[in-house]
Amino acid sequence: MTPHSQAPNPQEERLARVALTRVLEPGDETGGRWLRTHGAAGLLRRLTEDGPPLTGATTRHIAGLRNRAAAAQPEADLETAHAAGARFICPGDPQWPGQLADLGDAQPIGLWVRGRPDPRIWALRSVAVVGARACSDYGAHMAAQLATGLAEHGWVVISGGAYGIDGAAHRGALGAGGATAAILASGVDTPYPRGHAELLDRIAEQGLLIGELPPGAHPTAYRFIQRNRVIAALTRGTVVVEAALRSGALVTARSAQRLRRHTMGVPGPATSARSAGVHQLLRGEGVLVTDAAEVIELVGEMGQLAPERRGPVVPRDLLAPRTARVLAALPARTTARVDDIARGAAATEDDTVAGLYELQSLGFVERHGDGWQLTRQAFISDFHSPKEA
């Protein structure tokens, strides 16, 4: 048996995966197929040694991967990560979130993690809250409120660490003393955006920073897009708060739909371009949500229902139907005789008189000689919908 045909050494496989995070771009399905076919160590050997050519990519592309592989220093990356308080996890590790397998050949080679909690446990009870970077005050408020409510109910809030909705969601969870994780398109030791360096450090202290890229790696437009698939796969559902028709948040939502995760949206003004993408999502498979309870109703266990929404209960609501009809038959500005009120209420005069005396005791009406009239309290308390006499 040749060395290459022997059962893979777990430590060699792990080190090869570390190296491959410098070689393959996130979400590279061709690279994922190579990884599945040859194993991590086998793939790395094919990229660093002479041997059978890899198929499914151009010669130029493979040459570029070979250049990257030749420069990879996995031991140094592990040392750099350790110095930054980060670690590397990969499939087969106890902390690896199993639902990432739903991405197929596009699943991460491994994850660089900064923070103490267990990513696998956290991912089991997590919700993504994503949206526009250039958000409105309304959007920031809604994202923070949703995240606060989710955190208070023991849910992990996952987002991308960006300006706008992402930052508001992270801050909402942190402010509630809850759990939050940021999925980065850069190395976990390389804060991006720079203006969120303090926020990302705080997330690392209280929660998790997670990324596919090795220490020191910087984001690109492609890496931001690919990062979104990880957010979608890790979570039970994705909530979009403000997103234009072209938006990375909608990419996350579409990824969630492909993965059969719940997709939700918070509506905004019909005239707002910032909410146009959310409204498009809601016209399709997205579910409208306005608070954390409605999110939990969708992603939580059976029976975790949001409270029924009702308007305020006013005294008029407590009247018996027959008495309420008598009240409704009274004119708004003038007195009325019992026989006229009875006709309006479709009731007998005896029943009408009984209803009027009950309404008088409650302060709704008062008697003036042979007539009856609504009191000022009836209008102030909105007991009655006024109508013309």
Q: Determine the average pLDDT of the residues in 372-382.
A: 73
CB neighbours of residue 137 within 10 Å: 8
Distance of CA 40 to the CA centre of its chain: 33
- Domain membership of residue 150 (yes or no) is yes
Residue 88: name the closest of 60, 119, 130 by CA. Answer: 119
- List phi, psi (to 5°) of 237: -170, 160
CA distance 140 to 329: 48
What is the domain extent for residue 45? 3-72
- Domain membership of residue 92 (yes or no) is no
- Domain membership of residue 304 (yes or no) is no
Q: Which of 38, 72, 106 is the last residue of a domain?
A: 72
Pairing outcome for strands 371-374 and 336-337: antiparallel
- What is the pLDDT of the chain when averaged over all its residues? 91
Q: Determine the average pLDDT of the residues in 85-92.
A: 97
- List phi, psi (to 5°) of 381: -85, 0
Same domain, 42 and 112: no
- Domain membership of residue 306 (yes or no) is no
What was the pLDDT predicted at 376? 77
What was the pLDDT predicted at 384? 43
Q: Determine the average pLDDT of the residues in 249-265.
A: 96
What was the pLDDT predicted at 311? 63
What was the pLDDT predicted at 385? 46
Domain with residue 368: its CATH number is 1.10.10.10
Q: What is the pLDDT of residues 276-335, one digit of tens each?
A: 999 999 999 999 999 999 999 999 874 455 566 666 666 777 788 898 899 889 888 889
Q: Confidence band (pLDDT; 50, 70, 90) for 129?
A: very high
Q: What is the pLDDT of residues 153-210, one digit of tens each?
A: 999 999 999 999 999 999 999 999 999 999 999 999 999 999 999 999 999 999 999 9
- Domain membership of residue 77 (yes or no) is no
Same domain, 125 and 270: yes
What was the pLDDT predicted at 389? 36
What was the pLDDT predicted at 383? 45
Same domain, 44 and 111: no
Q: Determine the average pLDDT of the residues in 267-272.
A: 94
Same domain, 111 and 237: yes
Q: What is the pLDDT of residues 8-43, one digit of tens each?
A: 788 999 999 999 999 999 999 999 999 999 999 999
CA distance 343 to 327: 12
Exposed / middle / buried, residue 114 (Cβ in 10 Å: 0-12, 13-18, 19+) = buried
What was the pLDDT predicted at 44? 95
Q: Determine the average pLDDT of the residues in 54-70.
A: 94
pTM exceeding 0.85: no
What was the pLDDT predicted at 306? 52
- Domain membership of residue 293 (yes or no) is yes
Number of domains within the chain:
3
Q: Which of 244, 267, 299 is the last residue of a domain?
A: 299
Tokens of 104: 């197929």
- Domain membership of residue 36 (yes or no) is yes
What was the pLDDT predicted at 75? 97
Question: What single-letter amino acid sits at 245?
Answer: L
**End-to-end Cα separation, the chain, in angstroms:** 102
- Domain membership of residue 248 (yes or no) is yes
Same domain, 148 and 262: yes
Domain with residue 286: its CATH number is 3.40.50.450
Same domain, 129 and 231: yes
CB 327 within 8 A of CB 384: yes
Same domain, 239 and 146: yes
Same domain, 147 and 231: yes
Same domain, 270 and 349: no
Tokens of 224: 């931001």
Same domain, 281 and 155: yes
Same domain, 178 and 30: no
Q: Which of 54, 72, 90 is the last residue of a domain?
A: 72
Same domain, 66 and 102: no
